[in-house]
Amino acid sequence: MKRFFALLAAAALLLSLAGCGGKADMDFTAVLPQNVTSLDPQTASGPSSTLVIGSIFEGLCRLGKESEILPGVAERWDHNRDYTEFTFHLRSAKWSDGTPVTADDFLFGILRALHPETGAAAPDDLFPIKNARAISAGELEESALGVLVKNDRTLVIQLESGYPDFPALTAGNHYMPCKREFFEECAGHYGFSPEYLLTNGPFTFPHIYAWNTDYNEKSISLERADTYRGERKVVPASLAYLIDYESVIDTDPVAALLAGKADILEVSESDAQKAEEQGCPLVALEDTVMGLLLNPQSDALSYVRTREVFFRTLDREALLASYQAGSSQEAAGIMPGCVLWKDKPYYAEGETRWLSQDDSITESLPSLLDMLKLEKLPNITVLCPDDEDSIALTNGFLASWNSKLGSSFNILPLPENELKSRVAQGDYEAALYPLRAGGITPYNVLKAFDSTASPLLLKSEDYDNALRAMSFSLEGFQGMELTLQEQMVFYPLLQKKTYYALSPKAEGITATADQRIDFSSARKRK
């Protein structure tokens, strides 16, 4: 019966589009890397939920394709001299039921994310707000929060200390609005189906069966939101997110794009070149640092001193000389080029933040092996992308280790999507890994190593606690970089780009550093 009503509603939608001049070339398809269990912005986690939430919700601000901070529901904002107070002036925005989006909706969303009983995944991106950390810990009442509703369209946010780039954080899920009355009417079901979601983004659900959870047919169907009042003019009539999809999308993404199986796919650098040659437009983001990732959850690398041996014995100069890809530059640290501080690149020119080589660490090997009750270091396998340059770089790791550590080590080249899948499942010991920023603030990168992050790259209570206590200042971010470096989990090597390829007729689709895709201006050429 559920499927019958879904098909009936979909047929009615197609007929209405045909009757008003709607065309199939205004319909777009994307894929999700994993299943979606919730679309509640305050509690959902993972890249799939983030993609869909970015289409159906809009925060105070949003990120642009050039890593700029753009107006969202807030059409403009002001700040005081020391950046400790921001005033957001809201446009005349509407929820999908036609009611106004108000400043109180943003206050309620923030309060929900801060309350432990909500189950929000580590809401420390809210901790720059005055008293937010103490409220989350149950030490202060919510009335002490530094978020003030001056009127329905004016929201004032006070910070613990000056943070010039604070508006970038308000594009995140925890800052999304939530209508108090609707949430309370949902009685615990909020975010689990279209029936229990009120949206304010450029797209919304066409009917209550638009989130299909049937086995092997899982998908989320959206339509242009007539109630959307943002600065973007929404062009597409519909947008479909596929959770279950044909295997060719993973095995041969260029062929899938050419066949119209999807309108945008993340692709490897080598596939990006093939896609461009086949007439597929490309979108490139400077949001990635490629480096050596070690898995602290693997038995062979569970001890931090073991991981340090592998990092300290790398010959950085020889490694970089072996990598010939022309679009890559040496990484100064874990922060890619899209990460900003005071609207400028995070790293000052000439600054470097990576672990220095120290071959003398091999002198401590006997005592380390004795403590671990081993005769020699474990023989680890390094996963790497299956392309010539990545294989050469990874062989450089092995050359350093084989000559200095008295063991033999292995390489396993894989298609990039399979490599990422192995890392996401924790099924690896070491990998040449593309670390994406997740946004344009240093916090977004540091958050990737939190125990609540997906994929799980590091599980350390000490690191998690340090991240919760971090001040959102340059000194605070730099201190967290050192804390992460002490975990010996990621060794940054190269600045890289993330590539998306579009289907040959598609245009106007943009991707952003917070790993969202904006379809609002998408069109298809004749």
**CATH code of the domain in which 303 resides:** 3.10.105.10
507 inside domain: no
252 inside domain: no
Q: Are residues 28 and 163 in the same domain?
A: yes
128 inside domain: yes
- pTM comes to 0.90
Where are the extended beta strands (E) located within 342-380?
A: 344-345
Q: Are residues 8 and 136 in the same domain?
A: yes
- Helix, strand or coil, per DSSP, at residue 48: helix
- Percentage of the chain modeled with pLDDT above 70: 94
Residue 417 has pLDDT above 90, yes or no: no
Q: Are residues 209 and 292 in the same domain?
A: no
Q: Look at residues 240, 263, 278 and tell me which one is the last residue of a structural domain.
A: 240
Q: Look at residues 240, 269, 303 and tell me which one is the last residue of a structural domain.
A: 240
Residue 20 has pLDDT above 60, yes or no: no
Q: What is the mean pLDDT of the chain?
A: 91
Phi, psi dihedral angles at 104 (to 5 degrees): -65, -30
In this structure, what token pair is assigned to residue 418? Answer: 């399979």
Q: Are residues 303 and 432 in the same domain?
A: yes
Question: Can you give the pLDDT at residue 306?
Answer: 95
Region 420-437: mean pLDDT is 96
180 inside domain: yes
What pLDDT digit, counting tens, does each position of 353-382 carry? Answer: 999 999 999 999 999 999 989 888 888 999
Phi, psi dihedral angles at 336 (to 5 degrees): -75, 180
Q: Are residues 199 and 316 in the same domain?
A: no
3 contacts 211 by C-beta, under 8 angstroms: no
Q: Are residues 291 and 393 in the same domain?
A: yes
Q: Quote the domain boundaries for residue 492.
A: 286-498
Question: Can you give the pLDDT at residue 321?
Answer: 84
* CA of residue 243 relative to chain centroid, distance: 18
What pLDDT digit, counting tens, does each position of 35-60 carry? Answer: 999 999 999 988 999 999 999 999 99
Question: Can you give the pLDDT at residue 231?
Answer: 86
d(CA 454, CA 407): 32
Q: Are residues 64 and 150 in the same domain?
A: yes
Nearest CA to 438 among 199, 171, 203?
Answer: 171
456 inside domain: yes
Q: Are residues 182 and 89 in the same domain?
A: yes
Q: Are residues 182 and 110 in the same domain?
A: yes
317 inside domain: yes
DSSP 159: B
Q: Are residues 290 and 232 in the same domain?
A: no
Number of domains into which the chain is organized: 2
What pLDDT digit, counting tens, does each position of 448-473 carry? Answer: 999 989 899 999 999 999 999 999 99
260 inside domain: no
Region 403-430: mean pLDDT is 91
Which one is predicted more confidently, 287 or 22? 287
pLDDT band of residue 326 (cuts 50, 70, 90) is: low
511 inside domain: no
Amino acid at 377: L
**CATH code of the domain in which 64 resides:** 3.90.76.10
Q: Are residues 294 and 225 in the same domain?
A: no
Q: Are residues 217 and 127 in the same domain?
A: yes
What pLDDT digit, counting tens, does each position of 60-79 carry? Answer: 999 999 999 999 999 999 99
d(CA 377, CA 312): 14
Region 161-177: mean pLDDT is 96
289 contacts 335 by C-beta, under 8 angstroms: yes
